[in-house]
Structure formats: C-alpha cells, structure tokens
Structure 1
Amino acid sequence: MLALLAPAVALVQPQVATVLAPDTEARWVDFQLTPYNQIRFPIELDGHTAWAILDTGLSDSIVTSAFARTAGLAPTRRQRAMAIGGGVEVAWAGTRSVRFGGLIRSGGRIGISDPAGGIRFGADVLVGADILSCCALDIDYDSRRFRILSSGRMPFTGSTAPLRRRSPNGVYQSEVTLRDTVLRPIIVDTGDGGALTLSRAAWASTGYRDARITTTLGWGMGGAVVTDTLVTPAFALAGLAPHEAEIRIEGDGGFSAMVGAAGRLGTGMLQRYRVLLDPRAGRMILQPGKAIAAPVLRSTSGLLVEFTGKALRVVHVMRGSPAAAGAWQAGDEICAADGIPVTEDVRDGAIEWTIGAPGRTVRIELCDGSARSLTLAGFY
C-alpha cells in the first residue's frame, strides 16, 4: 500500500510541460500485477529505464535512492512527509523528462525516498498524481495494459462515479456505498493492493455488526501496517449491484483518518473492472470485467507469507486462525508442505495450501528441520 502526502512546507515547482503523442490512444503499456497487487510497468526517466508502480494515491512521484544515484539526480532539499505505515524522509530533485506510453513530461521535480524495510514492490519509480492527473487513465485489468488519453475522452461505456483531486495533496478521491451508507471522501489508490480500507469512524458509521473479523498485514512507504479485516457481501461502487468485498479497518489514528479521508479504494477492488480515471473531467468510469463476480479468496490457514526465493517466511499470523491456535509466529520459515518444496509450489504468487479447503490437514516442514501439522478452517 503506497500513499504519500505532499510535504507540509511548499516547494517551488520547477517549470513543467506535459504533452501526449498524437497516437497516444494506440500506445498501450503492458503491465504486471505484483504479488502485492501493484501495477508494475516500464518507464524512462532522464534517459534511464526502470520499473515503475502506477500510484494515484501518491501526491508526488518518487524514485528510490539507488535509482537516483544511477540517474545522477541531485537532491536539493530534504523534508519529512506522512505515509501509510509512518513518516518518511523525502529529498527533492529536478528532472529533465519522464516517458511512458504516449506521455512525455519535461521538467518538474521528483521525490527521492525508500520504503521502510527495503524495496518490496520490485520497482524503483512510483508514478503519482502529480504526473498522472494531466490526463485520463484507461486501465484494462483483464488485458493487463493501460494507456494515457486526453482528458474528456470516453473510450468505453460503463457506470460513473465522481472523481476529483483531493486538496491540498492532489491524490484522487471518489465515494463508495456499503450497506446503503455512502462513504466519502474515498482515496482512489492504484498503488494500494487492498480492496477497500476504511477508517474506524467510517466503518462504525455503516452500522455493520454481524461480520467475523480477523487481522491482516499490508505495507506502505512508512512500513508494515496491521489492520482488522472482514469480507462483506454488501459493497457497491458507481451504482452497480452490490458484491462481495474484503474490507480492512484501520485502528484509531490510522492513515485515512489522519488525512481526513473515509478510506482508500485499491487495486484489489479496481481489478474487477475496466477503469477510466479522469479527474479533470470529474469522473471515474467502471465497466465490469471478468473478475466482477469472483469470490474473495480467504485464508484458511491464517498464515500470511512471502517467498524469499528459498523459503516462505511468515509475515503475519491472522487473529482467530488455525495458525494462531497452533502458536505460529511471524518469522517462522517454511521449506516444504505435504512433501513439496515451496520452490516448486509457488505459482503466480499464490500458495494453494494456505487457502485450501477447510478440514484439510497440511504437514508443514520448517527450515529448521522441525515439522508441524495445520488443519485448515474457515474463520472469517
């Protein structure tokens, strides 16, 4: 999850010019979805190529310090800024050009910062609303591609929700409906891998009382964030029929509340649609995609893991889960399950047995040579 506020002290923005190529509508950019549900694509910045994340929840575009050194970006000032997971330090440098798809931005500035705990997202550039808001953004999740269009274009039909840039930080914002309660403002955050994250106050305003709630883990620029989480059948977007959705609930003083938002709408939800984001025209258009009716994948193990290349490292144990009952802990490392090495079991970032059928018992071999059994169950 990535969303960075603009610095508290205003900086003079170098002169910026953004142009679109005459054939920009034909210049689709192929992308990958990372294991954390971010949109990852190639970009050119000051003549250097890199992997980037498309992040409408980020006020100012960011590069890592390693890329800044490679590209010869010279920071001129450092400031503290607020991000999901905590505060971060951002340095600022002028840029000559940013290019992807049919967009060319000349001049302007770029932030230099590193995610807490290292680079988890497989990219050195985070492209934020400062660059994207010039234009309309057409994201075709089913085909894993996007393109940059002139504002006002409407390349497909669908349902419409309001969309504007949030003052003073400029991130995208809209609204959603949960159990007949309209929640606004909701930050539309393509850099957030979750579906819908709400402040505790926004969640309380819905009057929802009958859900089974557990916990989950996400990452922001400022570090890891643990939130409550549940699955609801009553989520609606842009006047479309309600469907099942995973909701994360931030604790008191969470990021959404701190920035005056009811919550954030992320790629975990947006990927169910083809999406047009056009803040200058004041609209978000959604056309249901192939995954619109897909059920939410729920953990039945309670183990949230990440692949290190050799093992599965447990990064969070979900509250009330079989793993919690079995005294699993963050940091445990798994080398095999049911006799299959994890290096052979990882497919497109998914670990099948962690979301397997309730009642199944999995024999898990830890990398320290010990073994445990874990019986899967539905718990949220």
Structure 2
Amino acid sequence: MLALLLPVVALAQLQPATTLAPDTEARWIDFELTAYNQIRFAVELNGHASWAILDTGLSDTIVASRFARTAGLTPTRRQQALAIGGGVEVGWAETASVRFGGLTRTHGRVGIADPAGEIRFGADILVGADILSCCALDIDYDARRFRILSSGRMPFTGSTAPLRRRSPNGVYQSEVTVAGKRLKPIIVDTGDGGALTLGRTAWTSTGYRSARITTTLGWGMGGAVVTDTLVIPSLSLAGMPEREAEVRIEGEGGFSASVGAAGRLGTGMLQRYRVLLDPRAGRMILQPGKAVAAPFPRSTSGLLIELAGTALRVVHVMRYSPAAAGGWKAGEQICSADGVPVPEDVKDGAVEWTVGAPGRVVRLRLCDGTERSLTLADFY
C-alpha cells in the first residue's frame, strides 16, 4: 500500500496559501477506488491535468518525477525520508498551484519521488495532509465522491471520534478499540488500502488470540512489506458496535512503531462509512454506509496476484493456504483458469476464483504450459 512519508526539511521560501471557492460545498469530486482501495481523482498542478491519490497518511504531497518534468518542477534539495517498505529519496520543489474541487493551493512545496518500482494505481500525484488539512474532507464512499469544506461544517450526522494532526509530520491521527482495548494514536490513512494495520506491541496489548493467522503483502513507497493478517470480529470505531475487520500485524520494528503510532486505519475499513475528516475541528465523523455489516472477503486460494499484460502474476503466497500446500511460488504466471483466458477472466476487474467457495477445484494453466489444480479452502 502507499507510504506514509516523514520528511524533515526547511520550510519553503514562499508560504502556501489555500482558498476555497464560494460554491465549494457544491463541487463534489468524483473518484474511483483502485484495485488497491486508493481514492483516485482528477487534479491540476501548475495548470497540467493528471490523476491523484487522496492520502491523509502522507505528510507532504508527492509528485512522480515523470510528471514533475511535465509540470516544470525542479527540485532544489534532496534528502532521505522514512516510508513503508524502507527509505526513499525525496527532492523538494516550489509549485505555482494545485487545484481540485473548490480548493486552490498556491505556492508551497511538493516532494518529487518515485516509489520502489513505480507509482501504482495509475496516478502521478499523492495529495497529502499538507494540502488536505486546511479544511474538512467529506468522503461519500457509497456515491464515490468527495468534497472539500470549510473546517467546522457538519454536513451529516454520525458517530464522532477525536482527530488531530500528528506532530511532527502532520498526518491525521485518531483511536480505535480492538477486543475492548483502546489503541492510540492510530493514523487515519486514506492512502492505505488495508482495513487496520497494527504494530506488534499494540496488537499484543489487545490480548486477542487466534490460531487462524496467515500472511499478506502490501506496498509502500519503499517497497513490498509482508505482514501477518487475520480477520477479527471486534473492531469498534467512534464508540459504535463492534464490527468484523481484517487486521494486519507488522513485525518488530515495523513502520507504525518506528513513527510512534499504534497503527493505521485505512480505506479498507473507512469505505464502509461516509466519513468527515476535520482535524482543525478535532473530529472524525462516521456514518454507516451500505457495506458496513458486509463480511470481509477472505482468500480461499492463498494466491495474491496482479495483472501483468495478459497473465496473472503471483506476488505472494499466503502462509498455511492451499496454494502454499501446493508449492506455489511468487513470480509464477497464470494464463487461464478453468479454461477461461486471463483477459476474459478479469474484464470486470475481479478474479472471483481466488475467493471462491471452499471445496471448489480450480484448474489453472501456467504460462509455461503446465497445469495445476487448486482446491479452495477456509484457512484463516
């Protein structure tokens, strides 16, 4: 998933200024959720249109180097920054303007960085807390739209949790309750596609025990990260009744612990609500959405895959899964499932057999011409 970045640099010479249009409340911004649960929307930087990811877990707005050149951004200094998956080098540049919805931010800095590999999700800009925290952010996940409001506005009612910007990096932080244990600070990270990620110490403090723990793979700006994962029945947000949630558990010395946080609350959970994030007013408001009580999808294959041209590439094999028992390895490529070629199988954006009914036998043909059968099963 996308990184949460922690640079420590001098302030820009030209101080940023943010203005909201008089009709900003009417200026809804349509978005789509990427395959990794990021909010992708249209933005304009220095007069050049592109796609962006909304990322409250990112301290500073980041631009990919290829788009930075298009937008005429020239870095004046560089430094190392901490990110999920490892360190990254960031260059800093002055901008003329950033615009989306009713918001215009003039001057100020942006970082120029390329994550390990490339920026995924089809976006060139990661809009961070440096721009977003000026105002209230109303995200209507069910309608796939959001808008920027003046701080203090309450366009809908719901349950309230505390929200403030975390010093020194300025990302959003709140709290959650897991198995009756209140955990804080929890970074509220719209750029993280997971539901809830906890540091090892925070997880241990809940006293929750389950033998059904497997592994999963996420991505940060510094590279790939493997974590333990399980589904629990006991996550409470803003004092609301407990809900089911997928929890990822970072290893000792993981990112959350390294920045002094108990963990991160991501879009995998937030998308089940309508969400108002208003750090200046000190609150996060959650109104249950259509999917609030839906069970979390669980892999029954143990294969985490991504589309690679006309094939599916295995990027991770989950521990204790049918795929692990069958000897599957990361890097193997699948060209068809049950006789259906990959391009046809993924035309709607989903690969349903990876989370199919337990007991189903899937015939998979690898791109090297070999065939294997995989019997789906519950394993976490």
Question: 2:258 & 2:99 partners in 1: Cα distance?
Answer: 33
Q: Which of 296-305 and 339-348 deviates more?
A: 339-348
Question: 1:173 & 1:144 partners in 2: Cα distance?
Answer: 23
Question: 1:53 & 1:348 partners in 2: Cα distance?
Answer: 22
Structure 2 partner of 1:283 = 283
Question: 2:117 & 2:6 partners in 1: Cα distance?
Answer: 22
Question: Secondary structure at 1:280's aligned position in 2?
Answer: coil
Question: 1:64 & 1:112 partners in 2: Cα distance?
Answer: 6
Question: 2:32 & 2:311 partners in 1: Cα distance?
Answer: 23
Structure 1 partner of 2:180 = 180
Residue 348 of structure 1: how far off its partner (Å): 4.2
Residue 119 of structure 1: how far off its partner (Å): 2.4
Question: 2:141 & 2:296 partners in 1: Cα distance?
Answer: 17
Structure 1 partner of 2:372 = 372
Give per-residue Cα distances to partners, 1:310-350, cap 9 Å, x unaligned.
11000000000000000000000000000001111115432
Structure 1 partner of 2:86 = 86
Question: 2:349 & 2:376 partners in 1: Cα distance?
Answer: 20
Contact conserved, 2:12 with 2:109, CA < 8 A, in 1? no
1:165 to 1:218, Cα distance in 2 relative to 1, 3 A: same
Q: Confirm whether residue 163 of structure 1 aligns to residue 163 of structure 2.
A: yes
Q: Which of 76-85 and 339-348 deviates more?
A: 339-348
Q: Which amino acid aligns with 1:272?
A: R
Structure 2 partner of 1:39 = 39
Structure 2 partner of 1:210 = 210
Question: Secondary structure at 2:343's aligned position in 1?
Answer: helix
Q: Which of 145-154 and 119-128 deviates more?
A: 119-128
Question: 1:213 & 1:75 partners in 2: Cα distance?
Answer: 44
Contact conserved, 2:42 with 2:50, CA < 8 A, in 1? yes
TM-score by length of 1: 0.99
Residue 68 of structure 1: how far off its partner (Å): 0.6
1:18 to 1:11, Cα distance in 2 relative to 1, 3 A: closer
1:348 to 1:241, Cα distance in 2 relative to 1, 3 A: farther
Question: 1:179 & 1:132 partners in 2: Cα distance?
Answer: 32
Contact conserved, 2:359 with 2:376, CA < 8 A, in 1? yes
Q: Confirm whether residue 256 of structure 1 aligns to residue 240 of structure 2.
A: no
What is the number of residues matched between the two proteins?
380
Question: 2:178 & 2:4 partners in 1: Cα distance?
Answer: 26
Question: 1:42 & 1:201 partners in 2: Cα distance?
Answer: 39
1:111 to 1:183, Cα distance in 2 relative to 1, 3 A: same
Contact conserved, 2:3 with 2:222, CA < 8 A, in 1? no
Contact conserved, 1:94 with 1:107, CA < 8 A, in 2? yes
Contact conserved, 2:15 with 2:108, CA < 8 A, in 1? yes
Contact conserved, 1:135 with 1:150, CA < 8 A, in 2? yes
Structure 2 partner of 1:69 = 69
Give the share of equivalent positions with the same residue, in percent.
80
Question: 2:305 & 2:117 partners in 1: Cα distance?
Answer: 16
Residue 13 of structure 1: how far off its partner (Å): 5.1
Q: Which amino acid aligns with 1:7?
A: P
Question: 1:78 & 1:121 partners in 2: Cα distance?
Answer: 25
Contact conserved, 2:12 with 2:94, CA < 8 A, in 1? no
Structure 2 partner of 1:304 = 304
Question: 2:219 & 2:274 partners in 1: Cα distance?
Answer: 25
Structure 2 partner of 1:336 = 336
Give per-residue Cα distances to partners, 1:225-272, cap 9 Å, x unaligned.
000000001111001111110000000010000000000000000000
Question: 1:193 & 1:252 partners in 2: Cα distance?
Answer: 21
Residue 296 of structure 1: how far off its partner (Å): 0.5
Structure 2 partner of 1:243 = 243
Contact conserved, 1:136 with 1:151, CA < 8 A, in 2? yes
Give per-residue Cα distances to partners, 1:162-192, cap 9 Å, x unaligned.
0000000000000000011000000000000
Question: 1:10 & 1:175 partners in 2: Cα distance?
Answer: 30
Question: Secondary structure at 2:219's aligned position in 1?
Answer: strand
Question: 2:308 & 2:24 partners in 1: Cα distance?
Answer: 38
Contact conserved, 2:24 with 2:147, CA < 8 A, in 1? yes
Unmatched runs of 5 consecutive residues or more in structure 2: none
Residue 4 of structure 1: how far off its partner (Å): 3.1
Q: Which amino acid aligns with 2:258?
A: M
Question: Secondary structure at 2:116's aligned position in 1?
Answer: coil
Contact conserved, 1:32 with 1:40, CA < 8 A, in 2? yes
Give per-residue Cα distances to partners, 1:339-376, cap 9 Å, x unaligned.
00111111543210000000010000001111000000
Q: Which amino acid aligns with 2:209?
A: R
Question: Secondary structure at 1:98's aligned position in 2?
Answer: strand
RMSD: 0.9
